[in-house]
Amino acid sequence: MARNLWIGRPGFLREIAQAAKSWDRTADLNVTEFKSLEGNITTVATARTVRRLKLSWDALPPGDAQHLTRLARRVNEPGFQGGPQPPYGPLALLDPASVNLLDPYQAAAQSTRSSGTDHWFTVQGTVVISPSLAATVVADFQDAAGRLGWRHGVWTGWPVMPGMQVSWLLPPDWSAATATAQLDWKAVDGTYLASTSANDSGVTGTAPAGAAFVTPVGGPGATGLYGLAGACLTIGEPATAFALGDGCPAMSLTGYTDLPAAPLPYRNVSLDLVEVRGAQL
């Protein structure tokens, strides 16, 4: 399940089983060069990089092609239950090449805020987040029952679909003898559904019916300072400590082609996507 691409609005992801003919997942480095009259070069770069994806398929089956067309033309998905569909926003994409779905800076315990609220939040107890001397973020658990949640930058959690197997591994310097690893499952509107937990440094759970998001949570089971680097969140694969965070960013479609293929109704489809913090119509 994890080795195929899933794409769509959260709660309405569709698996694209056919492998893409071309697939470019290069990050946009945003580096500008300036050359002086003497020939010396100076570069200026942004503090953060964003992912751009370019995908194309030949002879895509009509069901998959229609799904991608709906996304490109911002047409709501059929079959939504429970009232009007939420406002159209950024898309979710589960990249089968991603090893760790945590944000790359989150996985490395780096934050642009001293409070760390861009990547973490307190679920239970008193937990104070602060940068350390090594330029990574640490958490001060002031009671043994404290729980910390990992925050997705856009949604209430990481996008999932019912039946997906999710693995969550806590930072490796947390003791497996006392730690608790937990996965909180949430509906498409962010409503809490259930939790899967283990008294260990890691846990694997299956997304229940109605699940559209998962939030990873953990507690070391003791007081003191604990590092946050090295955690890993995966779908369908074992989690690996200190894996590079590929992220699971919200995406917007910026380019799209749809060409009839032989035999009809198959179609040749290509998509250009860019990582975003939001998408407005």
Q: What is the pLDDT of residues 88-147, one digit of tens each?
A: 679 999 998 899 999 999 999 988 776 788 899 999 999 999 876 567 899 999 999 999
Amino acid letter, residue 270: S
Separation of first and last alpha carbons in the chain: 32
**Is 178 in contact with 218 (CB distance < 8 Å)?**
no
CB contact at 8 A, 114 and 130? yes
- pLDDT score of 85: 56
Count of C-beta atoms within a 10 Å radius of residue 197: 16
How much is the pLDDT for 3? 74
Q: What's the pLDDT at 278?
A: 60
Task: Please say whether the dihedral angle defined by the alpha carbons of residues 273, 279, 280 and 281, taken in this order, is positive or negative.
Answer: positive
Is the backbone peptide bond immediately before 265 cis, with ω within 30 degrees of 0?
A: yes
User: To which H or E segment does residue 72 belong?
Assistant: helix 62-72
Asked if residue 86 lies in contact with residue 191, where contact means CB atoms within 8 angstroms, the answer is no
* Percentage above 70 pLDDT, the chain: 93
CA 122 to chain centre: 20
**Around Cβ 272, how many Cβ atoms within 10 Å?**
17
Instruction: State both tokens at 196.
Output: 């899967």
Here the tokens at position 3 are 């080795």
Which DSSP letter does residue 106 get? H
The whole-number pLDDT of residue 35 equals 85
* Interatomic CA distance for residues 262 and 201, integer angstroms: 52
pLDDT along the chain (281 residues), means of 10: 82 92 84 84 82 93 94 78 62 92 93 81 93 79 96 95 97 96 96 97 97 97 95 95 92 93 92 80 46
User: What pLDDT, on a 0 to 100 scale, did the predictor assign at position 80?
Assistant: 55
Burial class (CB in 10 A: 0-12, 13-18, 19+), 92: buried
Closest CA to 17 of 31, 7, 27, 30: 7
pLDDT of residue 1: 47
In the chain, how long is the greatest CA-to-CA distance?
66
242 secondary structure, DSSP code:
T
Q: What is the pLDDT of residue 206?
A: 98
